[in-house]
Amino acid sequence: MIFYPLKFQPILKERLWGGTKLKDVLGKPIENDITGESWELSTVSGDISVVSNGELSGKSLQELIEEFPEQLLGKSVFERFGTDFPILIKFIDAKKDLSIQLHPNDELAKERHNSFGKTEMWYVMDADNDAELIVGFNKDVTKEEYANSLENDTLLELLNYEKVNEGDTFFINTGKIHAIGAGVLLAEIQQTSDITYRVFDFNRKDKNGNLRELHTDLALDAIDYLKKDDFKVNYSNTKDKVNDMVECPYFKTNFLDLSQDLILDIKQRDSFTIYMCVGGSAMITNDFGSVDIEKGQTTLVAAASESITIKTEGAKLLEVTI
């Protein structure tokens, strides 16, 4: 099978808190001013990515995985996950604050929803002045203190706020309470899961005038109530090198800030490789072909590739593998 680097049609999501940066900054074909998410790579039921380039154009990612699982995913990835693509890749534009939420771990998600849990990471691509994220609590709290804060409308007083700038990176464990703040555009890498427990939504109403559903009871046993400074990712940014960023059981992410071409030998990788372009532009070439990507675009390189050549005069890339 000729597995040239694949691009996919973005799956665009209207959100109560969305804006226009996905179009204005990343060039996505949005048609309204409340688009909050662009799903770049997905096999979530009902939202399966479709190839947009080359002779495989029109094929779905799920079709290709089922037909060529080891060649596309990698033998070890296939043995672990079967034909379930284990990662969901997004760009997110928060014009307004997102709801305060958390995600269950694998065990709870399997038991309650027959799903993976949702460990994720964020790379900030653009942030308005004084834009913030909420990540975790500002002190250790008990389940009772937390429940009382919901009743008394004082939850915000217990939360930890982080001012952000371009390049800031955060790792969000399951159970960690969090929210993306207004004015933040980011790249998100996560386990394939759409399970979210929303615990506070600033008493906002949707377009039909209804308060959005909260998952107060489900969240109680899923929250990590301890204050942990384990979320800010410190990574080196050596030019024209592959810089380690995040490594966890669900994905490994590297950062590449390139000013010249780079050739990578990936014979021993045994995993697909994803490139999210978060700045500049590049041509990604493997054994079977090439694709051009620019800021806001994503490509998937099959595990069957033995080498990857990145041709560029300037690009910032997130490289994601298993």
Written as six digits, the tokens of 175 are: 């159970």
For residue 296, report the phi and psi dihedrals to the nearest 5 degrees: 95, 5
Query: Which of these is catalytic: 15, 80, 198, 269?
Result: 198
The CA distances from residue 220 to 109, 150, 157, 217, in Å, are 14, 11, 18, 5
What is the largest distance, in Å, between two alpha-carbon atoms of the chain? Answer: 60
Q: Which residues pair with 91 in a beta bridge?
A: 38, 187
Residue 80 appears among annotated catalytic residues: no
CA distance 62 to 45: 10
Q: What is the DSSP string of 249-283?
A: SS-EEEEEEESS-EEEE-TTT-S-EEEEEEEEEEE
Residues 6+ apart with CB under 8 A from 20: 30, 33, 35, 93, 95
Query: What distance lies between CA 113 and its chain's CA centroid?
Result: 20
Active site residues: 198
